[in-house]
Copies of this chain bind each other. A is one copy, B any other.
Amino acid sequence: MTKQDRAVRTRLALIRSAAGQFEARGYVQASLAEISAGAGVSSGALHFHFANKAAVAEAVEHAAARALRRAAARGRDGDGCALQRLVDVTHQVARLLCADSVVRAGLRLNAEAAAGRVRDLRREWRECVDDLLAEAERQGELAAGVPPHRTGAVVLAATTGIEVLAREDHGWLARPSLTDLWQLLLPSLAAPHLAGALDPAGTRPGHVDADHAETGLSLANTL
């Protein structure tokens, strides 16, 4: 392994260790000593990569943002029924959160930071949801009288609630919660010709390992 490879691996290990600490103890309680110990490196090695705790948190948040944007883009830019892609992208994001502590910790750090930040992942998620609902409306996939923007607010509220509840109990990210949500929402949302054609459990099988590998890749890309 070259010196550069080792540096990349150390940085990744520090980001993963920090995510675990932030998730378990919160940003304020997390200590740099435990982050470096968790990554199996000296505190000198930590300080070679990161000036302080805020810099480690920024790296965790940045990695999470990349992974989440990638998952959202896959859903948004696909083809076929937009309403089904909306269902699918919620399941994909939940799988990503379920599989990867860096994504969970980074999303939480972002949400807890003061308002008015440049990078607002909830706002980006809302845009992804709204884009897919607007596309569904253009394609005649929505039932009469369903306002896309107000429906986007309901989807944002429900998915935000699942993410927040999952901080205490990861079971909320498992497939049934989202499937139950879509099972109740889709009959009101979908145009009659789509009745029965949409799958509330999502149409793309879970690729937790692939998602996880991709997050690793996106982490490497942040270096």
User: How far is B172's CA from A52's CA once the two chains are assembled, in angstroms?
Assistant: 36
CB distance from A130 to the nearest CB of B (A): 14
Contact of A181 among B157, B168, B172, B189 (CB under 8 A): B157
**Other-chain residue from B154, B160, B164 in contact with A180 (beta carbon distance below 8 A):** B154
Q: Which residues of B contact A40 (CB under 8 A)?
A: none
In whole angstroms, what is the CA distance A150 to B176 when docked? Answer: 9
Q: Counting CB contacts under 8 A, is A194 at the interface?
A: no
A156 to chain B: closest CB distance in Å? 7
Interface size class of A (residues with CB under 8 A): 20 to 34
Q: What separation, in Å, do the CA atoms of A22 and B125 have in the docked complex?
A: 28
A178 to B157, CA, bound (A): 10
Cβ of A180 and Cβ of B165 under 8 Å apart? no
Over the window 162-198 of chain A, the binary record of Cβ atoms lying under 8 Å from chain B Cβ atoms (1 yes, 0 no) is 1011001000100011001101110111000000000
A10 within 8 A of B: no
Q: Please name the residue on chain B nearest to A28 by beta carbon.
A: B28
Chain B residues closer than 8 Å to A172, beta-carbon distance: 157
Contacts of A31 in B (CB 8 A): none
A156-B161, A164-B160 known; A184-B188 Cβ under 8 A: yes
